[in-house]
Amino acid sequence: MNDARHVSEISFEGEVGIVRHHDFLCEEEFYFESGSVLPAFQLRYETYGKLNESRDNAILICHALSGDHHCAGVYSLNDRKTGWWNQMVGPGKPIDTNRFFVICSNCLGGCQGSTGPTSIDPKTGQAYRLSFPLPSIRDMVAAQSRLIDFLGIQKLCCVVGGSMGGMQALQWAIDFPDRVESVLALATTPRQNNQAIAFNAVGRAAILQDPEWREGQYAPGEGPDVGLSVARMMAHITYLSDEGLDKKFSRVRRLLNSDQTIEEIEFEVESYLRYQGDAFVNRFDPITYIYFTKALDRFDLYGENGILEEAFADVTARTLVVGFTSDWLFPPEQNRRIAAAMLRAGKNASYAEVDMKYGHDSFLIDSPELSRLICNFLQES
Amino acid sequence: MNDARHVSEISFEGEVGIVRHHDFLCEEEFYFESGSVLPAFQLRYETYGKLNESRDNAILICHALSGDHHCAGVYSLNDRKTGWWNQMVGPGKPIDTNRFFVICSNCLGGCQGSTGPTSIDPKTGQAYRLSFPLPSIRDMVAAQSRLIDFLGIQKLCCVVGGSMGGMQALQWAIDFPDRVESVLALATTPRQNNQAIAFNAVGRAAILQDPEWREGQYAPGEGPDVGLSVARMMAHITYLSDEGLDKKFSRVRRLLNSDQTIEEIEFEVESYLRYQGDAFVNRFDPITYIYFTKALDRFDLYGENGILEEAFADVTARTLVVGFTSDWLFPPEQNRRIAAAMLRAGKNASYAEVDMKYGHDSFLIDSPELSRLICNFLQES
């Protein structure tokens, strides 16, 4: 590909080995499923480990709604926070970077370095905002495929992802059957139920009805912070389990006196959610949030005929789908249905259910059982 | 009681018999649990059926967070909407007004005619707003007891309620053991778990962070409409079950074309929630919403020792607690614990679980099984 190149590269060697942080610029036109076109796009991505000579040891990790390309390691010794899947990715870890070359890119439409609504439209010199096309899960995967082309990788050894990342992993196996050896999809769904759509819809309503929304034309540093924060607080509840919350907070009150005003925070869980909401506003773009939740809501592998196995007709990848007992956002049953439909379609698929208490976010939490499962699955690669 | 009187009374005879709509004014001081005092208060209430001569056929119905005193019948022949428990209350219905005298009052602190934050403070001539004391479930019950005094009723034949109404029914049995013959508590909890508190906290955050909140000093006709609407939309999801939503909406999209903007409503469930949010803003006060969710969050029958049966030590009422299989806000287990603790305390209590698909709101839905259960329970009165 002559029209793709690296525009920047930094790296840092830490506990997980070298974290390589790149910007990949694809200067070819990119066509969205909707017919919209971008003249060019950039994906920010990280790599860990080394691509071997036969270029057949690459694993692509796809991130969830609020995730990004930084899935492991740190950028400096002062970095308190590691990447979001640090316990899973690194030398000797389940996704073993001594053996695999691991790639994780910020999704197209994202706000962490990949081209998205906050990027500058070369035609106008202004940020795209709402003129940026709404990406589907398929579009995200198509953009990633350009990066994989650029890296000279014909076939990925595995595509891995949880939640929205799991949707991408499945879409990879569907759209690029010759380029995916195996798929590991965690805490995901072939399509969301109405409850999950409803929560996303309320999150979007909170942003769109915020007076600071201004049809997406808010000034830099301004914007629908309240709406985005409320959307995130609410969504955060759906990522956790009732039992997990009760273990974490045991209904503790921070303050309890009669002088307390109703505007003060009373319960620990309330304080925790406020913090989550405020922190999110500092790192996430409201338009990307709306776009990604729309991509989730529209994702539907059942298709027009409502027959899930038809989606998997061309899949060749060996597939493991993992559901989590306490996940009520994308419940075990929805994960199980994916594997069952693949089996009905005659594919090499299996389903595992992990008994973890942390709700939808269980896939992000360190667990010996989950680690062993992933480790064993990748051993066969 | 010399200091209590009716200030208004209207009545309409319809399908459920005569709906009598009253305002009861108590001109005695009212002390809140917190120590705050009101010089006087009013409760708006309705009655159905007739109080018998021995005054022992009265049933008090307590409403839920967003409910009110209008639990059955209509106000005119043009009224399209009946009271919120119309299928349960009326002549020949499970709460049979041929036999019982039924009372339902808007809670203290409410916004449907009872004294609350929107009422005029006689000291200032202005609405109380945040200077209105935050009522507890116990305060709501204490205010109702004044109304029951005024009606000349020494002992209630039954106190009935679902959700926040169920908390009140239990509190009645605890605070007035000599005045409650039986208790019927539906879809309720001895205390909320962190998840339920978290949803309420996000709803409050949406209101309190709305720029139109203005510390509660918004002009009449203005106010944090966006925040209240978002709070209601989110809460509404928690009142319904996943399965119920899927049956109702089957993931239908209203619009599906590429010209659609992200601000347009795409899914039926999204449209339904928007409607619910908008309608709520027109009938509910944001401060009452904050107050009532606080009352829910603070309700805790486990007390300081964390021993539920201690709360029921003085209870004499025959009690039936009803949980609903699909209720994930106040799950069956939490309802069962109430009856179990009462039994441990040596009380006359039982628990029934009704298999209904409508989530927390199941208690509001017509069901032969629920009707039979309530009918049988009241037969013994």
B1 pLDDT higher than 50? no
Is the model more confident about A149 or about B248? A149
**Same domain for B131 and B233?**
no
Domain that holds residue B279: 196-295
Is the pLDDT score of A343 beyond 80?
yes
CA distances from A173 to A166, A177, A277, A316 (A): 11, 5, 34, 7
Cβ of A258 under 8 Å from any chain B Cβ? yes
Residue A267 is nearest to which of B34, B130, B197, comparing CB atoms? B197
- In terms of Cβ atoms closer than 10 Å to its own Cβ (0-12, 13-18, 19+), residue A176 is buried
Q: Check: CB of residue B157 under 8 Å from CB of residue B57.
A: yes
Q: Do B198 and A269 touch (CB under 8 A)?
A: yes
CA distance B50 to chain A (A): 41
* Bridge partner residues of B167 (DSSP): none
Calculate mean pLDDT across residues A288-298: 97
Q: State the Cα–Cα distance between residues A2 and A24, nearest whole angstrom.
A: 12
Q: Do B233 and A205 touch (CB under 8 A)?
A: yes
- For residue A179, the tally of other CB atoms under 10 A from its CB is 19
Q: Are residues B157 and B256 in the same domain?
A: no
Q: How far apart are the first and last CA of chain B?
A: 28
Q: What's the rounded Cα separation, in Å, for the pair B352 and B117? A: 37
Query: Of the residues A271, A295, A319, which one is the last residue of a structural domain?
Result: A295
| Residues A155 and A282 occupy one common structural domain | no
pLDDT for the residue numbered B2: 46
Q: What is the pLDDT of residue B21?
A: 83
H helix and E strand count, chain A: 10, 13
- Beta-carbon separation of B242 and A193 below 8 A: yes
Which one of A248, A274, A295 terminates a domain?
Answer: A295
Token pair of B369, please? 């099984």
Q: Give pLDDT, residue A3.
A: 64
Question: A261 falls in which pLDDT band (50, 70, 90)?
Answer: confident
Average predicted confidence (pLDDT) for chain B: 93
One domain for residues B32 and B167: yes
For residue B317, how many C-alpha atoms fall within 13 Å in the half-sphere facing its CB?
A: 30
Residue B249, chain A, CB below 8 Å: the answer is yes
CA–CA min distance B256, chain A (Å): 10
The mean per-residue pLDDT over the stretch B345-355 comes to: 98
Across chain A, what does the average pLDDT equal?
Answer: 93
Which residues, 6+ apart, have CB-to-CB distance to B180 below 8 Å? Answer: B155, B156, B158, B159, B172, B173, B316, B317
Cα separation, B73 vs A193, whole angstroms: 36
Lowest mean pLDDT among A153-162, B6-15, B20-29, B254-263: B254-263
- The whole-angstrom separation of Cα B127 and Cα B220 is 10
Residues B19 and B76 in one domain: yes
List CB contacts (< 8 A) between B277 and chain A: 205
Q: DSSP per residue over A208-270, as a string?
A: HTSGGGGGG-PPTT-S-HHHHHHHHHHHHHHHS-HHHHHHHHTT-BS---TT--TTS--BHHH
Query: Tens of pLDDT along A168-223?
Result: 999 999 999 999 999 999 999 999 999 999 999 999 999 999 999 999 999 888 99
Asked if residue B186 and residue B84 are part of one domain, the reply reads yes
- Contact criterion met (CB < 8 Å) for A229 and B205: yes
The predicted structure's pLDDT at residue A253: 64
Picking from B85, B90, B80, B34, the residue whose alpha carbon sits closest to that of residue B63 is: B85
In this predicted structure, the answer to whether residue A266 has a pLDDT above a threshold of 60 is yes
Q: How far apart are CA A379 and CA A166, in angstroms?
A: 20
Which residues of B are annotated as catalytic? 163, 327, 360
The answer, yes or no, to whether residue B260 has pLDDT greater than 80, is no
- Are residues B264 and B335 both part of a single domain? no
pLDDT at B255 over 60: no
Q: Is the pLDDT of residue B75 over 70?
A: yes
Q: Which residue has the tokens 């994906």?
A: A43
- Average pLDDT estimate for A326-336: 98
Which residue is it, tokens 């380029």? Answer: A179
Of A209, A263, A269, the CB nearest to B197: A269
Helix (H) or strand (E) holding B342: helix B332-344
Residue with tokens 């005193």: B69
Task: Give the mean model confidence (pLDDT) for residues A303-310.
Answer: 94
Q: Is A327 annotated as catalytic?
A: yes
Q: In the listed set B238, B264, B295, which residue is the last one of a domain according to the structure?
A: B295
Query: Which of B230, B246, B285, B327 best probes binding to A when mutated, by most A CB atoms within 10 angstroms?
Result: B230
> In the prediction, which pLDDT does A2 show?
46
The predicted model gives B217-239 an average pLDDT of 95
> What ipTM goes with this model?
0.94
| CATH code, domain with B145 | 3.40.50.1820
Res A21: pLDDT: 83
The answer to whether residues B8 and B91 belong to one domain is yes
Tell me how many domains chain B contains.
Answer: 2
Task: Yes or no: say if A311 and A302 are a contact pair by the CB < 8 Å rule.
Answer: yes
What confidence score (pLDDT) does residue A8 get?
Answer: 67
> Is residue A178 domain-shared with residue A273, that is, in the same domain?
no
Average pLDDT for B68-94: 92
Instruction: Identify all chain A residues contacting B294, using CB atoms and an 8 Å cutoff.
Output: 262, 266
Give B85's pLDDT tier (boundaries 50, 70, 90): very high
Residue B359 binned pLDDT confidence (cut-offs 50, 70, 90): very high
pLDDT in tens, A77-124: 888 889 999 999 999 999 999 999 999 999 999 999 999 999 999 999
Instruction: Tell me the residue type at A341.
Output: A
Please give, rounded to a whole number of angstroms, the shortest distance from the CA of A368 to a CA of chain B.
27
Residue A258's domain is classified under what CATH number? Answer: 1.10.1740.110
CA distance linking residue B235 with residue A12, whole number of Å: 46
Q: Which of residues 56-115 of B touch A (CB under 8 A)?
A: none
CA distance A372 to A180: 22
**Residue A380 per-residue DSSP state:** T
d(CA A121, CA A129): 9
Q: Find the closest chain A residue to B250 by CA distance.
A: A194
Q: What is the pLDDT of residue B323?
A: 98
- Per-residue model confidence as pLDDT tens digits over B108-161: 999 999 999 999 999 999 999 999 999 999 999 999 999 999 999 999 999 999
Higher pLDDT, residue B353 or B15 = B353
Per-residue pLDDT for B78 more than 80?
yes
- pLDDT, residue B302, reads 95
A133 pLDDT higher than 90: yes
- The CA-atom distances, in angstroms, between A148 and each of A153, A178, A294, A368 are 6, 13, 25, 31
The DSSP code for B156 is B
Judgement on whether residues A155 and A205 belong to the same structural domain of the protein? no
B230–A230 CB contact, under 8 Å: yes
CA distance B284 to chain A (A): 18
Distance from CA of A245 to the nearest CA of B (A): 6
Is B190 in contact with B342 (CB distance < 8 Å)?
A: no
Q: What is the mean pLDDT of residues A253-258?
A: 56
Residues 265-324 of B with CB under 8 A from A: 266-267, 269-270, 273-274, 277, 290-291, 294, 297, 300
A360 close to B (CB below 8 A): no
Which tokens belong to A39? 């003249």
pLDDT band with cut points at 50, 70 and 90 for residue A257: low
Tokens coding A238: 């759906």
Residues A188 and A213 in one domain: no
Rounded to whole angstroms, the Cα distance separating B337 from B93 reads: 29
Mutation site for A-interface testing, chosen from B36, B193, B200, B209 by largest number of A Cβ within 10 Å = B209
B287 and B311 belong to one structural domain? no
> Which tokens belong to B84?
């919120």
CA-only gyration radius of chain A, Å: 21
